[in-house]
Amino acid sequence: MSTAARTNLTSNNVKVTNYKLGEGTFRECFEGIYIGGNRNNQAAACKRFKSQYTSMENEFFAQDFQIADKTIDFAESWNDVCPYGKEIMVSRGSLHTKGGRRYIVEPLIRDYDKFTSNTGWIGDTSNWQVRCMEAFTHYTYHKSGGQMIVCDIQGRYRHNRFSKAKSRFELGDPAICSRTRRYGPTDLGEKGIESFFSNHQCNEFCEDNWSRPRCPSQWFPQSRGTSMVSSLHSNQLSLHSRATFRMRGNMLMGVVEEDSDESDY
């Protein structure tokens, strides 16, 4: 098992409560309690799609695990080179069906914070934790040879006052923006990569030799929330397209540039 993965361990059953921890446009999260295994009686985060969006489940759940696994790979590499006490663990849950509804269940992270989004938004950079996590995103670009970034980073820094070696970031629900757009509806493609770098200023956690795009642009309205793009607009996420975007809820809708003969859609 990966040292950067925060998993359900041997706990394979959970009780889902009615207590809602939070919700977004498409999904909602309920508190659960693990039954049996290494995490017996520990709190769990149980995420499901809202009833009107269950048609998105198959695509999104499959991509959710791919995103987590790729982020864990990057985190393992980061942990080998990062400053002491700045290591990362990434939650990777498992799929459960309860009461006819499907949930992704993973260890609960309390005192959640949002460090970056997938549209280029970056939190308050006077906070070293934000700077560290945006540096991690820069690192993933360099490590992947400019092919992708891990973004939409959220979670907490868990400080252990008794042992600095046990202090770490615990992250969940990241997104990946990739040039091939392999990572589902939250993958904003090449324009997602550029939008991050249009706002990112290298800091003390970045290395001088890390690569970055030349003259990146901001392609999306900056939003703290997680944004999605329908597969119908995938071609607009390439840098070969000059289309910019507007926001409708958390969905990004393509807007064709005015020198095109096409209308908004």
Name the domain count of the chain. Answer: 1
Q: Domain of residue 170: give its range.
A: 113-255
Residues 197 and 213 sit within 8 Å (Cβ to Cβ): yes
pLDDT at 255: 54
What are the phi and psi torsion angles at 231 (to 5°)? -60, -20
In this predicted structure, what is the pLDDT of residue 54? Answer: 83
168-171 and 88-92 strand pairing? parallel
1 inside domain:
no
Task: Report yes or no on 104 lying in a domain.
Answer: no
Q: With respect to residue 224, please indicate whether it lies within any of the assigned structural domains.
A: yes
- Over its length of 265 residues, how does the chain's per-residue pLDDT go in tens digits? 578 999 999 999 999 999 999 887 778 999 999 999 999 999 999 999 898 888 878 777 888 899 999 999 999 999 999 999 999 999 999 999 999 999 999 999 988 899 999 999 999 999 999 999 999 999 999 999 999 999 999 999 998 766 666 789 999 999 999 999 999 889 999 999 999 999 999 999 999 999 999 999 999 999 998 888 877 788 899 999 988 888 877 777 765 333 333 323 2
Q: Is residue 226 part of a domain?
A: yes
Say which CATH number the domain at 231 has: 3.20.200.10
Looking at the DSSP bridge assignments, the partners of residue 6 are: 91
Question: Is 22 a domain residue?
Answer: no
Within-domain flag for 198: yes
**What is the distance between the alpha carbons of residues 79 and 94, in angstroms, rounded to a whole number?**
24
In 138-243 the beta strands, taken as DSSP E runs, fall at 148-151, 154-158, 168-171, 175-178
Q: Return the pLDDT at 65.
A: 92
Residue 214 lies in a domain: yes
Domain-located, residue 49: no
